[in-house]
Amino acid sequence: GAGVSQSPSNKVTEKGKDVELRCDPISGHTALYWYRQRLGQGLEFLIYFQGNSAPDKSGLPSDRFSAERTGESVSTLTIQRTQQEDSAVYLCASSPQAAGVGETQYFGPGTRLLVL
Amino acid sequence: ELKVEQNPLFLSMQEGKNYTIYCNYSTTSDRLYWYRQDPGKSLESLFVLLSNGAVKQEGRLMASLDTKARLSTLHITAAVHDLSATYFCAVGRVDSNYQLIWGAGTKLIIKP
């Protein structure tokens, strides 16, 4: 079946512009995660959705970052007034059930964001 | 604060050799994951380890967990070129059922 998809795959933008990143999880997956991966580093947790609700937004780096999920399906991560330090790969993952011990996350290919 | 360290961060080895990647973490956890990432591709789940002494094997890869030492190892036996990738460990926070803390990754290059 189809895996997690993300779009766009690459995005180049100018400092100060807003960008919107999209994630389509595996159909029927309840949990959805966003991560940021800077070059040569591990993944940094951003936000988790259980259904359409995000119980914890504390991983978002600043108030320029926001995310939403609708229909217990597609999610968008929006970065307003982008800064050069926002340049990274943004990864989305989903899992079949609510987050729990041992729950495997299935990852999308990521969106590579470059802010000039 | 939970911190995760992997070493080495880079490893170049010849086919046929054995080697081990280490993942140390700083505080108690109830779950540890190993993932593989090929360049430009998604992360792929390899193993989930949930208890002290857990050992899992898939092909030439074997992962183990020692919760008392807060250490997991990923052992590669008789490496082949296809295993070239970046390997990440991720450790779960006990105060959160969804947050994982990730190591920086080990880039493994296996020369034919």
In this structure, is residue A87 part of a structural domain? no
Q: Sorting pLDDT into bands at 50, 70 and 90, what band is B98?
A: confident
Q: Sorting pLDDT into bands at 50, 70 and 90, what band is A102?
A: low
How far is it, in rounded angstroms, from Cα A8 to Cα A18?
Answer: 14
Q: Give pLDDT tens digits for B14-53.
A: 999 999 999 999 998 889 999 999 988 889 999 999 988 8
How far is it, in rounded angstroms, from Cα B72 to Cα B64?
Answer: 5
Running DSSP on this structure, what letter comes out for residue B109? E
Query: By the 8 A CB rule, do A65 and A46 touch?
Result: yes
Direct distance between the N- and C-terminal alpha carbons of chain A, in angstroms, rounded to an integer = 37
In this structure, is residue A1 part of a structural domain? no
| Structural domain count of chain A | 1
Average pLDDT over residues A24-42: 91
- Residue B51's Cβ-side half-sphere holds a number of Cα atoms within 13 Å equal to 1
In this structure, is residue A14 part of a structural domain? no
Mean pLDDT value across chain A: 92
User: How many percent of chain A have pLDDT more than 90?
Assistant: 76
Return the pLDDT at A90: 97
CB atoms < 10 A from the CB of A111, how many?
Answer: 22
- Nearest of B87, B110, B62, B85 to residue B4 by alpha carbon: B87
Return the pLDDT at A112: 96
Tokens (6 digits) for B27 = 């505080």
Judged by a CB distance cut-off of 8 A, whether residue B98 touches chain A is yes
**Neighbouring residues of B71: CB distance < 8 A, sequence distance ≥ 6:** B22, B23, B24, B25, B65
Judged by a CB distance cut-off of 8 A, whether residue B105 touches chain A is yes
Judged by a CB distance cut-off of 8 A, whether residue B44 touches chain A is yes
- CATH number for the domain spanning A46: value is 2.60.40.10
Average pLDDT over residues B94-112: 90
In this structure, is residue A60 part of a structural domain? yes
Tell me which residue range forms the domain holding A45: 26-75
Q: Give pLDDT tens digits for A45-72.
A: 999 999 999 988 889 999 999 999 998 8
Q: Sorting pLDDT into bands at 50, 70 and 90, what band is A100?
A: low
Residue A1 above 80 pLDDT?
no
In this structure, is residue A88 part of a structural domain? no
In this structure, is residue A35 part of a structural domain? yes
In this structure, is residue A69 part of a structural domain? yes
Measured in whole angstroms, the distance separating CA A7 from the mean position of its chain's CA atoms is 11
CATH code for the domain defined by B4-111: 2.60.40.10
Interface test with B, best of A45, A47, A53, A106 (most B CBs within 10 A): A45
